[in-house]
A and B are shown apart, each in its own frame.
Chain A
Amino acid sequence: MFWRILKKDLKRKRTMNIILLLFVILCSMFAAAAVNNIVAVTGGIEYYFNAADVPDVTVLMMFSGENDLEEKIGELTSVKEIRTEHWLCVTSSKYFKYNGKELDNFTNAAGLISDNEMAINYFDENNHIIESVDKGCFYANAPFLQDTDIKEGDEVELTVGNSHLALKFMGRFKGALFDSGNTAVPYLIINSADYDYLDKDEAAHIMNNRQFYVTTSDVDEIRELAKDYSGVYVYTREERKGIYLYDMLSAYILMIISIVLMFTAFVVLRFTIGFTISEEFREIGVMKAVGIGGGRIRSLYIVKYLAITVIGALTGYFCSVPLGDMMMETVSKNIVFGSGNSTLMGLLSAVAVVIIILLFCCGCTRRVNKLSPIDAVRNGQTGERFRRKSLLRLGRSKLPQTAFLSVNDVISSPKQFSIVAVVFTLCILLMTIMSNFALTLKSEKILRFFDVPSSEAHIMESEIFGEVAVDQSTYQQIIADIEMLLADNGMSGKCTMTMGAQFATSHEDKTETVDFRVIKGETNDTLYVDEGSAPQKTDEIAVTAGTLDNLDAEIGDRVTAVINEKEYEFIITGTFSSFVNAANAAFLYKDFDLGHQGASNVMGVQIHFDGSPDKEQINQNIEKLKDLLDTDKVYSTPDYINNFTGMSDTMTAIKQMMMVITVIVTALIVILMERSFISKEKSEIALMKAVGVGGGSIILQHSLRFVIVSVIACIVSTAVLMPISNVMMNWVGNMVGDISGLKCDFDTLEIFVICPAILIGVTVIGSFLTALYTKTIKASDTASIE
């Protein structure tokens, strides 16, 4: 009998069961995809580092000379293994020719690695370890390939000094310790014979860059040793994970989207289950009347929901695979993910969905205990609960009747419609926040977070300022040459360069390696500080909030740093925000002289044109400079920022994806909720038709209810958008750098017109099309409605 009731119920309540099934599918699909994302991103980098055989410590040497550091490290008893990888240096992209044209797509000097000296595992696009490279061939990482259409099999010509090579492109490679951002260093893996051929040319040795991969039980010992050498940077395995911040950022944003979608699916699911139970008061009452116990009736529903949930969760899991892949596409371009985990985690998350939904069901079916046999004869109204439903008065309202009914319905059922409003608000917020992020990340207002003063043009050709990497005192000549070039060509202006180098810095018993920066050249800008004041003397510095924490210092404290073998004492005057190496960063006063120290971090040459030229004039100047300097790497400020962040494009892509997801989720919610409402209000619809209300009015009333809710969602989202955007932007900024007080930009048209229009448009179309179903309800149905 139990199974017969269940079978009959599944058949009779087909529509509601299908609705429930759809939501379980939706829910488990997003849950599985989100869990996959979380596991893949959080565990993915560790997996990748293990697969790539990244050791405990990497020691990067970036200078032109030779030293005995490798030997000294090898002599340490704590060191178990040391592997060395040399990189030949190609100082500019213009030394690469593709289809007869010089490349201009990257700004840093490129590094060449020999295939017989690969110290860690490098992977091809299919995540296979690259064992060797054929002679005359090469693999390249993402920064080399950005903005080009170089395809596998294409030939690229390379000139280093007097040596020439024609190399065939074999595909993109993933290097666990190579950044993949827009401004990252491009690397190529070439055959050892080709490497040896180029190695003979002096021009390839402008920088004798190399990296030691050290397996050791004592990192501090290596750090202590490295302090005595200049141009040497020691990173632990954990510190190296920082290069994936941008990748992590995209994944975290996707994770937030997944959680919101999951929340949406669960909320609607709960509503649907609760609604189904309330629809079946009569059956429950009758079952109780004939003596079936509450527990037995609950188990009837739970078994039904178990069946629906298992089918839905399995379907949802399979649907989550392409969704998860799509969401992870960007991240997986740069990281090698393990495949076993995701299948297991996906299945586990599907099982979790089943459990959570069943717990939901148990919670929702508690209402079964409250329903009594008398409900079967009293239409579910026991007479014990008197909650006023009608809040507006038709006789006193000025609204047209249809509008009145819609508004009254929304007000009278706040729980139902507020669920829809919350979901709509979340959907529109995700769209608009992404829009704000995308806009802010290419806004000129964030220029200061790149540690450069206000400027209109930026020269990023490393050939022009590359010398500072060896000796930063050469900046004077570089700035003087460019300023003269500008003056000679009728676009006079002042140039600045921001350079930096890392030095051990101590406060009391705490010692940290801090990246010191200084702006050289003429500028009227003073450093923008979040707290305190900008340094005014050579013994003053501003630091990031993170540096203050790491040094356990406060504004006003004194710290000591050893620069060029001399100990300096600095007073901390304030804190500043920065995107660049902000974990430990300090700003020096402009007059501080770093001597002949090689600059580890150069942000290009900034130009501030005299006479405040307009945008058009600036662009003309930039074009002229490109010709004069024979490079395309002269950028306007927005392009410069976009070049650095690269996130703006990602955010735009996520925003577009969110728009699609919003359209789908909104349409689904509108269709399913409206379908539920029609089913619930069948008797009222039939009654309205019976008393002479036209079908058009009923469709309009139903559509209008969702439009009201979507308009409320738009208003609420507009009110909270900017505060939420600012909080999130600063949170994101703190993941990348050390940021506070950043206010988001916004596109009025997009966030106040286009995004709300999308939501309202989908709502109107979805609710109208679904409300057409009311046509199937006839006036005569009043005779057959329970």
Chain B
Amino acid sequence: MNTVLQTKGLCKTYIVNKHQNNVLKNIDMTISEGEMVAVMGPSGSGKSTLLYCVSGMDKVTAGEVLFNGRETAKLGERQLARLRLDEMGFIFQQMYMMKNLSILDNIIFPAVKSKKNRESRRQIEERGRALMHRLGIDDVCGNDINEVSGGQLQRACICRSMINNPRMIFADEPTGALNRASSDEVMNELLSLNRDGTTILCVTHDARVAAKCSRVLYIVDGAIVGEKEMGDFDGGDKELRDRERELNNWLMEQGW
């Protein structure tokens, strides 16, 4: 399988009050096309920083990040923005949306900006509606962002991340602000996208979420200390419980 994302000796250091804080230390990882990888670790371990660094949202202090073979550090601001717009999708823990736009407009916003697909606004809108239908939120497309539930809003964020058919979706605690039912719905949607071929890198501290991924990376104090191949998840409740138990055991071994 093709490699979508690769890091070599990735380091990230913050200087806070003249104190050096090495958040990421020599991270080497590879993510292949079609994988769904979870990054787990305790609070402050550097999970989110890793996600922001590999997605080009934050600059790395040292090392290389290769996305589709292109070194992101060598790209300018504009090229990075274009890369994020066309090739990447983002889902955040907080359901950030633009308050002056409706749910549908928020979803199609990156597509209108992108020149990747030469579509008319009407076509983009139709595609946006289709995505919303697929995620079961087509009834709220004209609503404002404060008129829907958290689960609906996060699914709208997934639609937005999907609108430009990205090669990879970066999800930072996508279920962190949701209840269990909504969390399951959102993860099922991500699984569905992954089955359709979208590569996903998901930061989470929820074993139930990570259990649905094909591979889990465990990060402590800025370094990947463990990696577990989970295999593909078929979607049954029993399998999920078994995988969750297996993952929890492994995490215990890692010092979770």
Please determine whether chains A and B interact with each other in the same assembly: yes
User: Which residues of A lie under 8 Å from residue B108 when comparing CB positions?
Assistant: 394-395
A715 to chain B, nearest CB (A): 23
Residues 76-114 of B at the A interface (beta carbon under 8 Å): 77-78, 81-86, 88, 90, 92, 94, 96-102, 104-105, 108-110, 112-114
Residues 168-184 of B at the A interface (beta carbon under 8 Å): 172
> Is residue A401 contacting chain B, with contact meaning CB distance below 8 A?
yes
Contact A386-B147, Cβ < 8 Å, known A397-B121, A779-B57: yes
Residues of B within 8 A of A (CB): 48, 52, 56-58, 77-78, 81-86, 88, 90, 92, 94, 96-102, 104-105, 108-110, 112-114, 121-122, 124-125, 128, 144, 146-147, 160, 172
CB-CB nearest 6 A-B residue pairs: A692-B85, A395-B125, A779-B57, A692-B84, A780-B58, A412-B100
Contact A780-B100, Cβ < 8 Å, known A397-B121, A693-B81: no
Contact with B along A392-408 (1 / 0, CB 8 A): 01111100010001001
Expressed in whole angstroms, the Cα–Cα distance for A388 and B128 within the complex equals 21
User: Which residues of B lie under 8 Å from residue A413 when comparing CB positions?
Assistant: 100
Q: What would 18 A/B residue contacts be, using CB atoms closer than 8 Å?
A: A386-B144, A389-B100, A390-B105, A393-B102, A409-B100, A413-B100, A687-B96, A688-B98, A691-B109, A692-B81, A692-B83, A692-B114, A693-B81, A694-B78, A778-B58, A779-B58, A780-B58, A785-B94
> Is residue A684 contacting chain B, with contact meaning CB distance below 8 A?
yes
Expressed in whole angstroms, the Cα–Cα distance for A397 and B112 within the complex equals 11
B36 to chain A, nearest CB (A): 21
**Chain B residue nearest to A385 in the complex (CB):** B146
Contact A693 B96, beta carbon cutoff 8 Å: no
Secondary structure at chain A's binding surface: helix, strand, loop or mixed? helix
Residue from A386, A389, A783, A785 having most chain B Cβ neighbours under 10 A: A783
Contact A692 B86, beta carbon cutoff 8 Å: yes
B202 to chain A, nearest CB (A): 15
Question: CB < 8 Å: which of A386, A395, A686 contacts B124?
Answer: A395
Residues of A within 8 A of B (CB): 381, 383, 386, 388-390, 393-397, 401, 405, 408-409, 412-413, 683-684, 686-697, 778-780, 782-783, 785
Contact B102 A691, beta carbon cutoff 8 Å: no
Contact A401-B113, Cβ < 8 Å, known A691-B90, A694-B81: yes
Expressed in whole angstroms, the Cα–Cα distance for A449 and B84 within the complex equals 72
Expressed in whole angstroms, the Cα–Cα distance for A779 and B122 within the complex equals 29
Contact A690 B105, beta carbon cutoff 8 Å: no
User: Which residues of A lie under 8 Å from residue B125 when comparing CB positions?
Assistant: 395-396
User: Which residues of B lie under 8 Å from residue A694 when comparing CB positions?
Assistant: 77-78, 81-82
Expressed in whole angstroms, the Cα–Cα distance for A411 and B125 within the complex equals 22
Expressed in whole angstroms, the Cα–Cα distance for A692 and B86 within the complex equals 8
**Chain A residue nearest to B120 in the complex (CB):** A395
User: Which residues of B lie under 8 Å from residue A684 when comparing CB positions?
Assistant: 96, 98-99
User: Which residues of A lie under 8 Å from residue B77 when comparing CB positions?
Assistant: 694-695
User: Which residues of A lie under 8 Å from residue B56 when comparing CB positions?
Assistant: 779
Contact A690 B144, beta carbon cutoff 8 Å: no
Question: CB < 8 Å: which of B101, B124, B172 contacts A390?
Answer: B101
Contact A394-B81, Cβ < 8 Å, known A401-B112, A412-B100, A684-B96: no
**Chain A residue nearest to B126 in the complex (CB):** A395
Residue from A389, A408, A691 having most chain B Cβ neighbours under 10 A: A691
Contact A692 B82, beta carbon cutoff 8 Å: yes
**Chain B residue nearest to A396 in the complex (CB):** B121
**Chain A residue nearest to B101 in the complex (CB):** A390
Expressed in whole angstroms, the Cα–Cα distance for A193 and B85 within the complex equals 94
Contact B85 A395, beta carbon cutoff 8 Å: no
Contact A395 B122, beta carbon cutoff 8 Å: yes
B84 to chain A, nearest CB (A): 4
**Chain A residue nearest to B79 in the complex (CB):** A694
User: Which residues of A lie under 8 Å from residue B98 when comparing CB positions?
Assistant: 405, 684, 687-688
